Amino acid sequence: MYGLGGDGTNPSSSQKIYAAKGRPSDNPLIIHIAEPADAEKYAYTNSLYYKLASAFMPGPLTVILKKKDIIPKETTGGLDSVAIRCPSHPVAHAIIKAAGVPIAAPSANISGRPSATEVEYVIEDFDGRVDMIVDGGACEIGLESTIVLITENNGKDGLILLRPGAITYDALCCVCDNVTISPTIEGTLGENERPLSPGMKYRHYAPSAPFILLDGDDDNIIKFLQNEQKIKKCAVLCYDEEAELLDEKLLLPIGKRDDKIMHARSLFSRLRECDQVKPDVIYAHIPDKEGLGMALYNRMIRAAAHTVLKIDDNFDER
């Protein structure tokens, strides 16, 4: 995932990031470090942090810890905690090391748009709004990092999964026997509820056209889509195997049916492509929630603003 970075210890740098991205300033940034042990300088770590570090860092895991004073509240959206991540990409690693400061960086997309997984989308959003764009090639994973909050209850450490990603719930359970899943991952928040992860309250990842997730068996969904394609300008995110059953116009295959890694890699770029063709509506299968599916489900349900259509044997054929 491309990031929009600045010095995480400098309040005015963080303010510039919010301005360039059009992001509400109570939605905190993640700081990126070169080595897992650098977290000591910016936050209060504990043994569970180091267990996570040895299992998953460098890699797509963000850990939330109590912050030290060197990290200003402008970077953390006013919170006393800070989100820390140690990326594995060699270009990101080299930039952070050369900077000598933690790099505060949200995803490099204008707030509310699908995250950028390829440099051309960063250019589309930020050309003229930032000093420099570094081309690090296409993203391998294509989803934002997994986010966990370390908690302590009666002297026992635990984790709350705040945002699912390529490091799955099952993988976290191998390192910690007390992992809970935040309800914000699937649900919408009530009016006065305060999310543990502030980003969860904003609409996210959304293409411009209405995006609708289809829930039903594959045969019925294909029949529904064949019918819709006759009467509407609809873009369809389908599995590769389905491509020959559908009209090829505005068809955007996302990978083989069971290849969730490929779905994750394609999702945001496919949603960006959808924006370019200006369809009346975009359809996709609703993902299951197993393994990497939880992260796909979380991104897609929010991109679709929770619009799910149940497709059964007798959908309304027109």
* CA–CA gap between residue 239 and residue 253 (Å, rounded): 5
On whether the CB atoms of residues 27 and 202 are closer than 8 A, the answer is yes
Instruction: Report how many residues bind ligand AMP under the rule CB under 6 A.
Output: 19
Minimum distance of ligand AMP from residue 195's CB (angstroms):
7
Please select the residue that binds ligand AMP; options are 20, 64, 166, 252, rule is CB under 6 A.
Answer: 64
On the 0-12 / 13-18 / 19+ scale of CB atoms within 10 A, 155 is exposed
* CA–CA gap between residue 77 and residue 17 (Å, rounded): 12
106 binds ligand AMP, rule: CB under 6 A: yes
81 binds ligand AMP, rule: CB under 6 A: yes
Please select the residue that binds ligand AMP; options are 82, 209, 214, 250, rule is CB under 6 A.
Answer: 82
Choose among Mg ion, ligand AMP, none what residue 76 binds, the Cβ cut-off being 5 to 8 Å by kind. Answer: ligand AMP
Minimum distance of Mg ion from residue 115's CB (angstroms):
5
Minimum distance of Mg ion from residue 296's CB (angstroms):
16
76 binds ligand AMP, rule: CB under 6 A: yes
On whether the CB atoms of residues 33 and 39 are closer than 8 A, the answer is yes
* CA–CA gap between residue 234 and residue 228 (Å, rounded): 7
Nearest Cα to 1, choosing from 163, 169, 230, 198? Answer: 163
* CA–CA gap between residue 2 and residue 125 (Å, rounded): 12
State the residue number with the nearest CB to Mg ion: 107
198 binds ligand AMP, rule: CB under 6 A: yes
Which residues here bind Mg ion, judged by CB under 5 A? 107
Q: Give the binding site for ligand AMP (CB under 6 A).
A: 27-30, 64, 76, 79, 81-83, 106-107, 144, 147, 162, 197-200
